[in-house]
Amino acid sequence: MWIFTRWGFYSIASARQGDGGHENDLDSHGLVVQAIFRSQLEALKFHLPDLIGNCDIKEHSDSEYKFHMFVDKNIWSQVMLSLSQELNYDNFREEIVKEHSMDSPIYLKTITDISNFMSKLQATEDSK
């Protein structure tokens, strides 16, 4: 699952048992929350300290997403609920402009590129 939030972009997948190596079975209770930038995981932890503030961020330089944080599925469900309940804007991209226009131009550009791509997809679909 990919999620884009005011604090960053995260890829969430089932964690693996043991040392997390691909040869291990999936962990039915754990998730790995991955990010390209450590600062985005730190921002999420800072925003929700009671839920994930004590989760360690690990660096894996040979991974698609360099920074990983392991979270119990039940805790992550609470994170998602909290993020949903605090929504207080009607346009995500505009919120990112306000939230990240100065401190994270790369994230703002990424959101804008995705928004433009999705608009083109919709226009293509509408023209069928």
- What pLDDT digit, counting tens, does each position of 38-56 carry? 999 999 999 999 999 999 9
Judge whether residue 95 has pLDDT over 90: no
The residue to which tokens 């932890």 are assigned:
45
* Residue 21 tokens, joined: 């190596």
Read off the DSSP letter of residue 56.
P
* Residue 1 tokens, joined: 């699952």
Please tell me the distance from the alpha carbon of residue 122 to that of residue 22, in angstroms, as a whole number. Answer: 37
Pick the more confident residue, 62 or 9. 9
Task: Quick: pLDDT tens for 16-39.
Answer: 887 677 788 888 899 999 999 999
β-pair partners for 13: 32
Judge whether residue 11 has pLDDT over 90: yes
Judge whether residue 122 has pLDDT over 80: yes
Alpha-carbon 25 to chain mean position: 23
Predicted confidence at residue 83, as pLDDT, reads: 96
* Residue 96 tokens, joined: 């990112």
Predicted confidence at residue 101, as pLDDT, reads: 56
pLDDT cut 90: percent of the chain above it: 55
Model confidence, pTM:
0.85
Burial of 52 (0-12, 13-18, 19+ CB in 10 A): buried
